[in-house]
Structure 1
Amino acid sequence: MSEISIPRPTQGDVVDLILDDHRFFESLLRDLRDATADREAARAALSAVLIAHGEAEEEKVYPQLQRKDAIDEHEAEHGEEEHAEGNQALLHLLECKGTDTQKFDDAVEKLAEALNHHIGEEEQTILNPARTEVDEKVRRDLGEQWLARRSELLDADCGSIEFVTKVVARAEREGKLPDEGEEKD
């Protein structure tokens, strides 16, 4: 397995940086669907960057945007619930033994569905208000904080199945995941 390099910028506008990660997720999802791609490398890279991205957003970005009144508590909570659902789908993907099975393909599609839904909503309901209602300097400071936390998580092997399992278990304890068979709104 070759390794896919995860971009690690150190500064920028938090909105642009998050959008860059969203495009990277989409590229990795395309690789996961491609039988000729290194699916194992794509799975490892997506797992690491997805967990680092979401955890850093919840710790650094959402609280700051709430303080700036760019988003309300419901939008932040909804974003966290969608992260939890994506992380749960990611865990199912990581639990697949091989990358050439129907189970793997199904897990990729389930993850893609959760991710694409979240990306669309987040870009409209969280990032647009952040872009228009939060000062550029604040967005740049927030970008640095978010990137620093994202890098710490990447360095801590946050994409490992053990780390992802802990993140999903925490979301379950906090009630951010629907019960089996139940849909979150």
Structure 2
Amino acid sequence: MTTIDLGRPVSGDVVDLILDDHRRFEALLRDLRDSSSDRDAVRQAFAALHVAHATAEEEHVYPQLKRKKAVGEHEAEHGQEEHAEGHEALLAVLELKGTDTQAFDDAVEELAKVVNHHLTEEELSILNPARDEVSETARAELGAAFATARNQLIDDGCGSLADVRRIVAAARKDGLLDDEDEGDED
């Protein structure tokens, strides 16, 4: 199986670290669309990065940005909802046996749509205020906490099919996912 480097930042401005991951998501999505790539390795890498990134943001970044009044409750909650939607779309990709089917291509298209929407919104409504409202020192401290949590989750093997199923089930239970949109799950 192909080894995919997800990066191991240990410090830096949290905004830059998050943006670096956003560029990794875009590259991984390109590789998922590429039938000549090791799509199974790519989806496993994408899953690990998505779970680690979202969890580290929700546990460390969003609460601090709310405390520092850079973002409101609505932005943080909306970010969590979009992470849940991303996990749900990821689950559809992970549950497929083959990677050379129309079902896989369709699931990847949906994942790309959900994730790209979130990256754009987060960069506009969360990262811009973080840049403007939070000191460089605080962003660096937050960057170290984010990187540490993210790397530990990746080291612990987050992003397995069982993990993503558990995360999606918890998000449904917590009301983060709208079940009305679920008409075409097959």
TM-score, with normalisation over the residues of structure 2?
Answer: 0.96
CA contact (8 A) 1:6 1:49 kept: yes
Q: Which residue of 1 aligns with 2:75?
A: 75
What is the aligned partner in structure 2 of residue 91 from structure 1? 91
Matched letter for residue 126 of structure 1: I
Q: Which amino acid aligns with 2:84?
A: A
Quick check: 1:32–1:42 contact (8 Å CA) kept in 2?
Answer: yes
The residue aligned with 1:159 is: 159
Deviation per residue, 1:13-38 (Å, 9 max, x gap):
00000000000000000000001111
After the TM superposition, which parts of structure 1 deviate over 2 Å for at least 4 consecutive aligned residues? 180-183
Deviations along 1:48-78, one digit per CA (max 9) or x if unpaired, are: 0011000110000000000000000000000
The corresponding residue for 2:103 is 103
Cα distance between partner residues in 2 of 1:154 and 1:36: 25
Aligned: 1:39 with 2:65: no
Residue aligning to 2:142: 142
The two structures, once aligned, show a CA RMSD in angstroms of 1.1
**Partners of 2:48 and 2:98 in 1: how far apart?**
18
Whole-Å separation in 2 of the counterparts to 1:148 and 1:106: 34
Q: Please tell me the residue identity of whatever aligns with 2:62.
A: Y
Superimposed CA distance per residue, residues 66-94 of structure 1 (whole angstroms, 9 cap, x where no aligned partner): 00000000000000000000000000100
How big is the shift at 1:180?
3.5
TM-score (norm 1): 0.97
Percent identical pairs in the alignment equals 60
Q: Structure 1 residues 100, 115: closer, same or farther in 2, change over 3 A? A: same
- Cα distance in 1 for partners of 2:72, 2:105 equals 36
Residue 182 to residue 99, structure 1, CA distance change in 2 (3 Å): closer
Q: Distance in 2 between matches of 1:16 and 1:62?
A: 15
Q: Measure the CA separation in 1 of the matches of 2:111 and 2:169.
A: 17
Aligned pair count?
183
- 5+ residue gaps, structure 1, are none
1:157: Cα distance to partner?
1.1
Q: Distance in 1 between matches of 2:151 and 2:37?
A: 26
Kindly state the Cα deviation for residue 181 of structure 1 after the two structures are TM-superposed. Answer: 2.6
Any unmatched runs of 5+ in structure 2? none
Q: Distance in 2 between matches of 1:151 and 1:172?
A: 26
